[in-house]
Amino acid sequence: MPATMLEDGVPLQRPMLLPQARGPVSEAVLSALRGAPVALPEAVGAGLAASAGILDDEDVQLALFLLYEQHYGGLAEVDEDLEWDATLLAARAAIETAFEAALRAAVPMPGRPEPTSPAVAAALFALTGRDDGPSLSRYVAKNATLQQLREFLVQRSLYTLKEADPHSWAIPRLSATAKAALVEIQADEYGGGRPQRMHSAIFAGTMRSVGLDDAYGAYLDLLPAPTIAAMNTMSLFGLHRRLRGAIVGHLAAFEMTSSVPNRLYGNGFRRHGFDERTTWYFDEHVEADAVHEQIAAHDLAGALVASEPSLLDDVLFGAAACLFVEGRVGAHMLTAWNEDRSSLRGPLP
Amino acid sequence: MPELPPVTVTACPNGPILVRGDFELRTPDGRVVAQHRRTVALCRCGKSTIKPWCDGTHKIIGFVTEPEPPAG
């Protein structure tokens, strides 16, 4: 595997290598990103019309992911000016419209609390506290093989190697208590001024400790549509000011379903004899997210709804969407493992 | 500049106690407990596996705090 560039032990993010196409839409997006002439609107329109379900569409989810990645760490050998290319932005918008509609149709909405901070916090704790079927974290703690643990890290890597980034888009779109709360959480996510404590850097260390490549996107070709769709959900919410309620709700639900599962994930790696070099990431999240979930529920989501009551439904939608898309990723993994096969699209090197 | 308290302590409903600001947490014999983040959550249910910090266990055991007393 290629050596990652390290600065004081922390990986330097490089534009990710372009993946293989999965169909005509991602093929057209890749061509456009490479600067080749291509009828992008037609390819996207035809792909969306032919899609049997956008949430599980390998081709369309990969295409959307690539369009979003231009706004994060970037893509190798792609002209950086294309980040704001009108044709690519129009393609992104067409896919996003279908994607958001599919999410709004599929995500079960919880009951609506009063638009006050305590009521919203209580509603979010109730929503995220519901036990929803089989548990990935319990399986990882008790049953996962070493190969499944490595797969688990690969599945997580798409988000976790840029942990916190999609929610940071919301900072300039919030104000007062909610803004201070988001920055308080994100400062901790980014290591409180110490790059070695940045959660993405700690996770990169976990990957290296089990012999995995920590370069962003190194395993993208292996990741199935539900995993990419969960990442795309965060980017969709994070990149639209209109959806600031949803990205706040998403972060709240993410933090509120983290402490307890992370203790179990760590137990799974300890069961296989791994030490703190591998489990630090999970141990850190047990403690950190017990803090973050309180800030996210009360000072972030609660305060946002109190100051902008019209955002109540989107905060709830964002939280429920987080549980929905992350639950689909977990179910995809558990189904594959229970059938004694890989949850990835190909063998892990 | 408005006068702000150096430390704030917030009791979270059915959850931990959040502490923000400049403070030092000590053991009964006076040793300083190493603190990994600026804002911390102290266990209030008594069942955390990483005391004095909260680890979310209060949610599993259904820990319930008293309702807030009525204002005034």
- Tell me the chain B residues in contact with residue A118 when contact means C-beta distances shorter than 8 Å: 13
- pLDDT exceeds cutoff 50 at A1: no
- Residue B69 resides in a domain: no
What pLDDT score does A261 carry? Answer: 94
Cβ–Cβ of B49/A263 closer than 8 Å? yes
Tell me, yes or no, whether A95 and A130 share the same domain.
no
Tell me, yes or no, whether A122 and A166 share the same domain.
yes
Cβ–Cβ of B39/A287 closer than 8 Å? no
Mean pLDDT of A156-185: 98
Q: Choose the weakest-confidence range: A29-33, A37-41, A165-169, B32-36.
A: B32-36
- Residue B12 resides in a domain: yes
- Residue B33 resides in a domain: yes
Measure in Å the smallest separation between the Cα of B29 and chain A Cα atoms: 24
Domain count, chain A: 2
Domain termination site, one of A106, A128, A156: A106
Tell me, yes or no, whether A160 and A300 share the same domain.
yes
Tell me, yes or no, whether A94 and A130 share the same domain.
no
Tell me, yes or no, whether A124 and A244 share the same domain.
yes
Q: State pLDDT tens for residues A104-122.
A: 999 999 999 999 999 999 9
Tell me, yes or no, whether A286 and A188 share the same domain.
yes
Domain count, chain B: 1
In chain A, the percentage of residues whose pLDDT exceeds 90 is: 94
- Residue A2 resides in a domain: no
- Residue B3 resides in a domain: yes
B contact test, residue of A259, A283, A289, A295 with most B CBs within 10 A: A259
- Residue B27 resides in a domain: yes
Cβ–Cβ of B59/A125 closer than 8 Å? yes
Of B4, B18, B6, nearest in space to A121 by CA: B18
A contact test, residue of B36, B40, B43, B58 with most A CBs within 10 A: B36
Q: How many helices (H) and strands (E) does chain A have?
A: 16, 2
- Tell me the chain A residues in contact with residue B49 when contact means C-beta distances shorter than 8 Å: 263
Q: What span, in angstroms and rounded, lies between the C-alpha atoms of A281 and A284?
A: 5
CATH code for position A251: 1.20.910.10
What pLDDT score does B28 carry? Answer: 93
What pLDDT score does B68 carry? Answer: 63
Answer yes or no: are the C-beta atoms of A196 and A8 closer than 8 Å: yes
First to last CA, chain A: 9
Q: What span, in angstroms and rounded, lies between the C-alpha atoms of A302 and A281?
A: 28
| Residues of chain A with a CB closer than 8 angstroms to some CB in chain B | 118, 121-122, 125, 129, 184, 187-188, 192, 197, 259-260, 263, 284, 286-291, 293-295, 298
- Residue A265 resides in a domain: yes
- Residue B72 resides in a domain: no
Which is it for the CA torsion A78, A83, A88, A93, positive or negative?
positive
CATH code for position B15: 3.40.5
- Residue B23 resides in a domain: yes
What pLDDT score does A213 carry? Answer: 96
Q: What span, in angstroms and rounded, lies between the C-alpha atoms of A291 and B41?
A: 5
- Residue B71 resides in a domain: no
More confident residue, B66 or A89: A89
- Residue A6 resides in a domain: no
Tell me, yes or no, whether A149 and A29 share the same domain.
no
Structural tokens at position A104: 């709004």
Mean pLDDT of B8-37: 94
3-state SS class at A299? helix
User: Containing domain of residue B4, as a range?
Assistant: 1-64
In chain A, the percentage of residues whose pLDDT exceeds 70 is: 98
Query: Across chain A, what does the average pLDDT equal?
Result: 96
Chain A residue closest to B18 (CA)? A291
- pLDDT exceeds cutoff 80 at B66: no
Q: State pLDDT tens for residues A266-313.
A: 999 999 999 999 999 999 999 999 999 999 999 999 999 999 999 999
What pLDDT score does A265 carry? Answer: 97
Which is it for the CA torsion A92, A94, A95, A100, positive or negative?
positive
Three-state secondary structure string covering A157-185? HHHHCCCCHHHHCCHHHCCHHHHHHHHHH
- Tell me the chain A residues in contact with residue B67 when contact means C-beta distances shorter than 8 Å: none
Q: State pLDDT tens for residues A56-77.
A: 999 999 999 999 999 999 999 9
Tell me, yes or no, whether A194 and A334 share the same domain.
yes
Tell me, yes or no, whether A162 and A85 share the same domain.
no
Which residues are within 8 A (CB) of A175 and not within 5 positions of it... i.e. 6 or more apart? A307
Tell me, yes or no, whether A168 and A95 share the same domain.
no
- Residue A14 resides in a domain: no
Q: State pLDDT tens for residues A218-247.
A: 999 999 999 999 999 999 999 999 999 999
Longest dimension (CA), chain B: 44
- Residue A132 resides in a domain: yes
User: Containing domain of residue A269, as a range?
Assistant: 117-338
Could you report the predicted ipTM of this complex, rounded to two decimals? Answer: 0.89
- Residue A51 resides in a domain: yes
- pLDDT exceeds cutoff 80 at A133: no
- Residue A219 resides in a domain: yes
- Residue A16 resides in a domain: no
